[in-house]
């Protein structure tokens, strides 16, 4: 009885999604309905970090593919190790929602022999900067799954910081009830002994051109294909919803970025967009903030961007493109320590 109530509470937390409206389960159709079906089947509930993408179906499918095929699918790396990576990355990116969910899931999984969660979480936290990305504490055959999990959460943390609140529970749940709720939710999310089969999500999106920078996915063909298709879909979304000048600016900044935070204040944003056309400045500030310091995104940045006329779909696509651009940049220094990328 308790577990269904916790699932219901998490679904209710979709009402707390910020800045956009999420498509209700009963109103979903087409690609959104199919993603919802897979999420509920494989995650045991409609996970808000996936559902927040529903105004932009292709980006939703892309986000689900990279999450499912790395974190959830049973492979050569155990689920506890993947949850440790997800938690460590989320802590590095100041994403309390994701750190809470994946920390409680990890705590509910028995520690398998030979697993060192602390070491994996430390590597994941340090993966957020080029200087911290050292030799990974796992064998090469686990790289596609564990590096893939890290890259997926560098993406998801940014989206969650923008669109979800700090807690996975609805705002009306009192603090006194959350410790018990965390324990129950961890049990609900605890995976079965056999995870879902690989590849079920890949056909949600069409094949695209081979993507650069995916050497770390080898030799896992499913993860390689999932990221290639996701990259293609989100690139197309960016072309559709992000001004050319903004994409160029973000790419230029990321090419020089080493993962360090840009600063406590947001004065850097105003300086960074000084060369953009005035009509693109609000989009530029928002995209840069999401890519480099998503925890700094607030109502004022969103409102300034909204004043230029975009709807929910364009907002989600801009955020997804900026988040993935940053995650792809981080993947370059994670790949540098991967033998398959030598």
Pick the catalytic residue from 95, 98, 215, 341.
98
3-state SS of the chain is CHHHHHHHHHHHHHHHCCCCCCCCHHHCCHHHHHHHHHHHHHHCCCCHHHHCCCCCHHHHHHHHHHHHHHHHCCCCCCHHHHHHHHHHHHHHCCCHHHHHHHHHHHHCCCCCCCCCHHHHHHHHHHCCCCCCCCCCCCCHHHHHHHHHHHHHHHHHHHHHHHHCCCCCCCCCCCHHHHHHHHHHHHHHHCCCCCCCCCCCCHHHCCCCCCCCCCHHHCCCHHHHHHHHHHHHHHHHHHHHHCCHHHHHHHHHHHHHCCCCCCCCCCHHHHHHCCCCCHHHHHHHHHHHHHHHHHHHCCHHHHHHHHCCCCCHHHHHHHHHHHHHHHHHHHHHHHHCCCHHHC
Residue 341 annotated in active site? no
- In the block, which residue shows the tokens 């996936």? 50
Neighbours of 16 (CB within 10 A): 17
- Cα 119 from chain centroid (whole Å): 22
**Residues labelled catalytic:** 98
């Amino acid at each position: 009885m308790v577990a269904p109530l916790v699932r219901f509470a998490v679904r209710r937390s979709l009402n707390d999604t910020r800045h956009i409206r999420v498509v209700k389960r009963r109103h979903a159709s087409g690609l959104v309905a199919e993603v919802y079906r897979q999420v509920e089947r494989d995650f045991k509930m409609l996970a808000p970090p996936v559902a927040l993408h529903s105004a932009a179906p292709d980006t939703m499918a892309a986000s689900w593919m990279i999450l499912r095929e790395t974190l959830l699918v049973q492979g050569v790396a155990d689920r506890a190790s993947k949850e440790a990576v997800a938690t460590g990355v989320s802590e590095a990116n100041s994403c309390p929602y994701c750190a809470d969910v994946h920390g409680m899931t990890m705590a509910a999984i028995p520690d398998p022999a030979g697993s060192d969660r602390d070491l994996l979480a430390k590597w994941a936290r340090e993966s957020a900067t080029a200087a911290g990305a050292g030799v990974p504490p796992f064998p090469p055959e686990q790289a596609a799954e564990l590096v893939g999990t890290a890259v997926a959460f560098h993406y998801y943390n940014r989206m969650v910081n923008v669109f979800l609140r700090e807690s996975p529970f609805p705002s009306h749940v009192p603090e006194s009830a959350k410790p018990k709720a965390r324990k129950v939710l961890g049990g609900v999310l605890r995976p079965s002994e056999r995870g879902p089969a690989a590849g079920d999500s890949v056909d949600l999106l069409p094949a695209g051109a081979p993507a650069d920078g995916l050497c770390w996915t080898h030799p896992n063909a499913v993860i390689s294909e999932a990221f290639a298709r996701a990259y293609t879909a989100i690139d197309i979304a960016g072309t559709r919803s992000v001004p050319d000048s903004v994409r160029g600016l973000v790419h230029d900044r990321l090419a020089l970025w080493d993962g360090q935070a840009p600063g406590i204040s947001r004065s850097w944003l105003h300086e960074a967009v000084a060369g953009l056309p005035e009509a693109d400045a609000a989009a530029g500030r928002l995209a840069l903030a999401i890519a480099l310091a998503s925890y700094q995104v607030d109502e004022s940045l969103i409102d300034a961007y909204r004043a230029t006329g975009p709807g929910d779909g364009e907002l989600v696509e801009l955020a997804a493109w900026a988040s993935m651009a940053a995650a792809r940049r981080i993947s370059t220094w994670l790949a540098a320590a991967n033998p398959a990328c030598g």
